Amino acid sequence: MLVLSNVSLQDPIPLRPTRLGSLYGTRRYEEIRIDLHGWMNYFGIALKYNDAVELDHWLRRRIRMCYWKQWCRAKKRIGELIKLGAPRYHAILTGLSRKGYWHLAKTLSTNCGLSNEFLEKQRLTSIRTLWIGIHYPAKAR
């Protein structure tokens, strides 16, 4: 967990992408984007690059976990992963797994199906990109 100025950066972020509720639609991602821009404008100057990358990885894994939780049944999980482009064999193995949501959010098939490109198409903002925009503005390049 990243701590900066006695305030955890990961505490306010999970309030939006909760494990319950729908992640479909751009409204959810818009709320996350607004929160991230606010936090990066406040903490971005003092945040190290490696911490920004680590927080970005954590957020993407959290989003993948929310999708996994949303797909309640194994049949739905397998179908969604295959539809999103995950390898069929790995999608079946992952879909039938009884491990926890957080563990399964880091598997090969979940990362292939819910890839970074998919999350970017859903308009999820990258913390790493925001950090680069703060520390290396376009005017200075």
CA atoms of 4 and 141, how far apart (whole Å)? 28
Domain hosting 53: range is 48-141
CA atoms of 60 and 121, how far apart (whole Å)? 13
Indicate the SS3 state at residue 4. strand
pLDDT tens-digit series, residues 83-138: 999 999 999 999 999 999 999 999 999 999 999 999 999 888 899 999 999 988 88
- Residue 59 forms part of a structural domain: yes
Please state whether the predicted TM-score (pTM) of the whole model is above 0.85: no
- Residue 27 forms part of a structural domain: no
- Residue 17 forms part of a structural domain: no
Nearest Cα to 81, choosing from 73, 90, 21, 33?
Answer: 90
Structurally, how many domains does the chain consist of? 1
CA atoms of 112 and 118, how far apart (whole Å)? 9
